[in-house]
Structure 1
Amino acid sequence: MYLTRFRINTARVGARRLLSSPQVLHAAVMSSFAEAPRHQGESPRVLWRIDHNSKAEVLLYIVSPDRPDLTHLVEQAGWPTTTNGGWQTYDYISFLKRLAAGDTWAFRLTANPVHSIRRADDEPTKRTAHLTPRHQKQWLISRQERAGFSIIEKEPERRLLPEGDEHELIVHGHRGLSFGKTEQASGRKNHVKLTAVTFDGRLRVTDPEALRHTLTAGLGKAKAYGCGLMTLAPVGRPDR
């Protein structure tokens, strides 16, 4: 497994095109591999995420079973004349092996928090997005045990609200994404709409093996479109 970070040169026309559509960026990410990555079930897969840290600092993170080659992204949206064009790839396996129960980390996750509803008894269930920060937080909290971590709870005196502020967790970057998609098998054109939000917080490792799975297989839906990738950083560091 590899973790790759690529800084996007937002001043370039190619960068603006990539950032305009998750479908376009997904295709660019998958083109980073000589052989199309194969994914089955809950096995490790290619995950990616865009972090808009500031207007001038936009980062693409990729977690993948194989080492990517981002030469084409450097040519379109990087700095071709610099030494590495803006990208670094790290061995992820050694980091994953060091995870241990009780460790605390800062984390970042961009996800597509959804739930299934049925408006009438005779209608099929329909997947719909959670739209409020409170419900989005609860979506993640309800998955933490199975995902191998627990979000750290605040001391009562540090809570600003009587409810909904119990955890070291914030939600930001709410984005409604809408883009076209062409089915490869049939050639049929579909329109995709989804909601993506970013979670920042602190967690404690409860099940290292389950957390390794979360970090390499993703969390939630819409993984092909920049959702599901969780990254960790030592507490106190801004980069995740």
Structure 2
Amino acid sequence: MYLTRFRINTARLGARHLLSSPQRMHAAVMSSFAGAIPSEENASRILWRLDRNSNAEVLLFIVSEERPDLTHLVEQAGWPTTASWQTYDYKNFLDGLTTGSTWNFRLTANPVHHVRRTPDEIRKRTAHRTPRHQMGWLLSRQEQAGFRILETPADRRVLAQGDEHQLTVRDEQRRRFGKTEAATGQANRVPLVTVTFDGRLEVTDPAALRRTLTLGLGKAKAYGCGLMTLAREGGR
């Protein structure tokens, strides 16, 4: 497994073109792998995420089984003569995860649930719209995903509810884009709501957490969701 980091040059027209569309960014990421075809369903095995730390600092992270070649991204949206990308062997880090260790984490996800207005209606996938419900989505998945989000000490809580855990949700993005159904050929407008979670966690099941870090968490992985990364306190 490999973890790759690439800084996007936001001053370039090609970068702005990619950043404006999850579909275009997905195609660019998939083009980094010689054996991958952008339209294949198993493309979700390649995870990616954009971290918009500021207007001038946007980082692309990729987790993949194959080492990527981002030459085309450097030429289109980077610094071709002065900077490249960094790819790290992820296996040693994953193998070193231990029960009880604590980490800062970041995750961009598509928090959804299924609802229906009547008993006979087909259940419809719908995005969670409030930070409280978005946090609840992640908290309900933590045990199966191999971690526990740390709780905020009672004397440091400032709200009656909503800050019981060391978890924040930010940078909500709402998009709508065209998608053609493979089975029917019908074109639809697909809504996509994404949010970024930052917080602190404790490892409860290293094997399950390794699966989460390499296979992703939640839906819309092809559109930059599901990739969780860990860092020591004060690290990146």
TM-score range, shorter chain: over 0.9
Letter matched to residue 135 of structure 1:
H
- State TM-score, norm by structure 2: 0.95
Once residues 2 and 176 of structure 1 are traced to their aligned partners in structure 2, the CA distance between those partners, rounded to angstroms, is 30
Once residues 119 and 186 of structure 1 are traced to their aligned partners in structure 2, the CA distance between those partners, rounded to angstroms, is 26
Provide the residue aligned with 1:105 in structure 2. Answer: 103
- State TM-score, norm by structure 1: 0.93
Once residues 166 and 173 of structure 1 are traced to their aligned partners in structure 2, the CA distance between those partners, rounded to angstroms, is 20
Once residues 39 and 176 of structure 1 are traced to their aligned partners in structure 2, the CA distance between those partners, rounded to angstroms, is 23
Once residues 135 and 84 of structure 2 are traced to their aligned partners in structure 1, the CA distance between those partners, rounded to angstroms, is 33
Letter matched to residue 8 of structure 1:
I
Once residues 26 and 189 of structure 1 are traced to their aligned partners in structure 2, the CA distance between those partners, rounded to angstroms, is 19
Provide the residue aligned with 1:77 in structure 2. Answer: 77
Task: Specify the SS of the correspondent of 2:165.
Answer: coil
Provide the residue aligned with 1:196 in structure 2. Answer: 194
Aligned length: 234
1:45 aligns with 2:45: yes
The offset of 1:184, in angstroms, is: 6.0
The offset of 1:221, in angstroms, is: 0.4
Instruction: State percent identity of aligned pairs.
Output: 69
For structure 2, the residue ranges without an aligned partner over 5 or more in a row are none
Provide the residue aligned with 2:141 in structure 1. Answer: 143
Once residues 161 and 145 of structure 1 are traced to their aligned partners in structure 2, the CA distance between those partners, rounded to angstroms, is 25
Once residues 183 and 139 of structure 2 are traced to their aligned partners in structure 1, the CA distance between those partners, rounded to angstroms, is 37
For structure 1, the residue ranges without an aligned partner over 5 or more in a row are none
Query: In the superposition, relative to structure 1, how do residues 44 and 197 fare at CA in structure 2: closer, same or farther (>3 Å)?
Result: closer
| CA deviation map 1:17-44 (0-9, x unaligned) | 100110010000000001017776xx98
The offset of 1:185, in angstroms, is: 6.9
The offset of 1:121, in angstroms, is: 1.2
Letter matched to residue 50 of structure 2:
I
Query: In the superposition, relative to structure 1, how do residues 223 and 19 fare at CA in structure 2: closer, same or farther (>3 Å)?
Result: same
Provide the residue aligned with 1:167 in structure 2. Answer: 165
Once residues 184 and 54 of structure 2 are traced to their aligned partners in structure 1, the CA distance between those partners, rounded to angstroms, is 40
